Amino acid sequence: MNEIERRRTFAIISHPDAGKTTLTEKLLLFGGQIQVAGAVKSNKIKKTATSDWMEIEKQRGISVTTSVMEFDYNDYKVNILDTPGHQDFAEDTFRTLTAVDSAIIVVDSAKGVETQTRKLMTVCRMRKTPVIIFINKMDREGKDPFDLLDELENELQIKVRPLSWPINQGQRFKGVYNIYEEKLDLFTPDKQKVTEKVAVDINSDELEAHVGEDDADKLRMDLELVDGVYPEFDVNTYLNAEVAPVFFGSALNNFGVKELLDCFVKIAPSPRPTKAEERMILPEEPKFSGFIFKITANIDPNHRSCIAFCKVCSGKFVRNAPYLHIRQNKTLRFSSPTQFMAQKKSTIDEAYPGDIVGLPDSGIFKIGDTLTEGEKIHFRGLPSFSPEMFKYIENADPMKTKQLQKGIEQLMDEGVAQLFVNQFNGRKIIGTVGQLQFEVIQYRLENEYNAKCRWEPLSLYKACWIESDDPAQLEAFKKRKFQFMAKDREGRDVFLADSNYVLQMAQNDFEHIKFHFTSEF
């Protein structure tokens, strides 16, 4: 129970460029995992961010895949998942949200709430995941703090309660007042170091000495207003996902990050029960269970190995113990389970609920697989969406056919894109949620698998999985739509509709056929 209580597993989510990866770097700095914080964009110290380890991430300054990092802080064990913000990788982020107990949403103070943030918040609301909001970039000119809070309430449909308050912003930014601990945090902008906080009585003259008369008066008025408008902070409303605590700061300059971390480890939930199809799984149950929520190919470019990320839901994971792989009904032992610090990994002997364990994968896992000590249970809720963009993938170098095949297979295992084979001409079609994914696949095939591919245009509207209780009608449908039928990797029938009109006509003409838009049915 002690081990479960001290675990904190959370994801950092937001719109691209709000500062997730920079915030992750600073949290690692406080956790003592890194001595110098790297930067996302290439800078003078030429050290890139720890969580952006893929070559393409370093070049473009964006996160492409979710990184897992863990560190100890005070008496807590913190597991951070830094997710990509770009909407083309939203699927990766949605899946990550099924494996965490809470989330931190990063909002840019100048831009406010953006589209991607809204979508991610909808997922958190559906799953009742508690969220903390960090308003970043206060050292730049932005919106008024009260306007930002109103915008958060309207756009994200959740009540908010500030637990820190900024003293001015932009050029005149002097620091934050920590409402949760009632201390003043004065900072000198420094990207590498952390400065101490000052305990100040808000009503004494000390305040003027630190921030000047005008700012002191404004801070007192603001705080009175905050107490008047927003109810007292109550931890239970946060844990029930009704209220989101708000912190202000600047991740790049270390303002307000420590306050966020100190408050977070105290109030955030420890691992919670997980819903399986058969029953609720409690973390304190004696027997181990867990599910695979992500697969990454080529964490180490020298070994073409895949790693499956397993979230421990209950019991204790022990190295070399026999576990049942439910889908294949096989018993497996893992001799080298690992824990992560982005790309670096170390072997572990045991893991507790809330931990993320890396298991070496030789093609035996799929996303959503369940491992247990023998009980037959299935964890649900790992969606894979119907793709919206399609291209034919062709081999550009006939000498490298084998490498291309292996590359496509391993990258599809990651669940980032989907592969269909057209029944009419036998060509391979890749379907993704966004344009950027095609570039990433091409780049990774070339750099990690030494295989060249080229894309050929294909105009399709949607891919949908079909099934029917009426075999005769299914056959008739497949005959009539022969040119537009494909199979996915599981060998299931997929109908490739080339326009919305065609899809609606098909649905009207064939009443006994069910059309599915997610692969979970």
State the average pLDDT over residues 165-176. Answer: 76
In this predicted structure, the answer to whether residue 192 has a pLDDT above a threshold of 70 is no
Q: Is residue 197 very low, low, confident or very high in pLDDT (cuts 50, 70, 90)?
A: low
Q: Which of 156, 109, 169 is nearest to 134 (CA)?
A: 109
Dist CA 447 CA 207 (whole Å): 57
State pLDDT tens for residues 415-431.
668 888 988 888 999 88
3-state SS of 77-118 is EEEEEECCCCHHHHHHHHHHHCCCCEEEEEEECCCECCHHHH
| Range among 33-42, 166-175, 213-222 with highest mean pLDDT value | 213-222
State pLDDT tens for residues 314-361.
888 888 888 888 888 888 888 888 876 545 667 778 888 888 888 887
CA distances from 234 to 243, 441, 472 (A): 9, 46, 60
Torsion angle in degrees (nearest 10) through CA of 133, 341, 381, 368: 170
The domain ranges of the chain are 2-267, 283-372, 389-516
- The CATH class that applies to domain 389-516 reads alpha beta
3-state SS of 30-77 is HCCCCCCCCECCCCCCCCECCCCCCHHHHHHCCCCCCEEEEEEECCEE
Q: Is residue 302 very low, low, confident or very high in pLDDT (cuts 50, 70, 90)?
A: low
- The CATH class that applies to domain 283-372 reads alpha beta
In this predicted structure, the answer to whether residue 485 has a pLDDT above a threshold of 80 is yes
Torsion angle in degrees (nearest 10) through CA of 468, 471, 472, 477: 50
Dist CA 268 CA 289 (whole Å): 23
Q: Is residue 301 very low, low, confident or very high in pLDDT (cuts 50, 70, 90)?
A: low
In this predicted structure, the answer to whether residue 36 has a pLDDT above a threshold of 50 is no
Dist CA 142 CA 169 (whole Å): 7
Dist CA 352 CA 316 (whole Å): 5
| Range among 91-105, 286-300, 459-473 with highest mean pLDDT value | 459-473
Q: Which of 425, 509, 412, 517 is nearest to 463 (CA)?
A: 517
78 residue type, one letter: V
Q: Which of 78, 339, 3, 38 is nearest to 192 (CA)?
A: 38
pLDDT for residue 37: 43
Q: Is residue 66 very low, low, confident or very high in pLDDT (cuts 50, 70, 90)?
A: low
Q: Is residue 85 very low, low, confident or very high in pLDDT (cuts 50, 70, 90)?
A: low
Dist CA 284 CA 267 (whole Å): 20
Q: Which of 367, 406, 448 is nearest to 66 (CA)?
A: 367
Provide the CA 241 distance to its chain's centre, in angstroms. Answer: 18
Residue with tokens 């509709």: 497
Average pLDDT for the chain: 78
The answer to whether 230 touches 162, Cβ cutoff 8 Å, is: yes
State the average pLDDT over residues 24-51. Answer: 54
Mean pLDDT check: name the lowest of 145-154, 173-182, 459-468, 499-508.
173-182
Dist CA 102 CA 180 (whole Å): 19
Q: Do domains 2-267 and 283-372 have the same CATH topology?
A: yes
State the average pLDDT over residues 423-441. Answer: 83
Q: Is residue 508 very low, low, confident or very high in pLDDT (cuts 50, 70, 90)?
A: confident
Q: Which CATH superfamily is domain 2-267 in?
A: P-loop containing nucleotide triphosphate hydrolases (3.40.50.300)
Q: Is residue 224 very low, low, confident or very high in pLDDT (cuts 50, 70, 90)?
A: confident
In this predicted structure, the answer to whether residue 89 has a pLDDT above a threshold of 60 is no
pTM higher than the cut 0.95: no
The answer to whether 510 touches 477, Cβ cutoff 8 Å, is: yes
pLDDT for residue 193: 54
In this predicted structure, the answer to whether residue 78 has a pLDDT above a threshold of 60 is yes
State pLDDT tens for residues 356-407.
888 887 778 887 788 888 788 887 655 566 677 889 988 888 888 888 888 8
| Range among 76-85, 88-97, 286-295 with highest mean pLDDT value | 286-295
What SS3 state is found at 425?
Answer: coil
State the CB neighbour count (10 A cutoff) for residue 376: 12
Dist CA 324 CA 322 (whole Å): 7
pLDDT over 70, % of the chain: 80
Q: In sequence order, which residues have a C-beta less than 8 Å from that of residue 339 and are 6 or more positions away?
A: 70, 345, 346, 348, 351, 355, 356, 357, 358
In this predicted structure, the answer to whether residue 220 has a pLDDT above a threshold of 70 is yes
State pLDDT tens for residues 271-295.
888 887 888 888 888 888 888 887 7
Residue with tokens 């692969």: 519
State the CB neighbour count (10 A cutoff) for residue 279: 10
State the average pLDDT over residues 500-515. Answer: 86
Residue with tokens 């095949």: 405
Residue with tokens 């037959």: 376
Q: HSE on the CB side for 436, CA within 13 Å?
A: 14
Is pLDDT larger for residue 245 or for residue 276? 245
CA distances from 210 to 164, 214, 215, 220, 351 (A): 17, 11, 10, 14, 47
State the average pLDDT over residues 8-32. Answer: 76
pLDDT for residue 382: 59
Helix pair angle (20-30, 257-267), 10° resolution: 80
> For 213, which DSSP code?
H
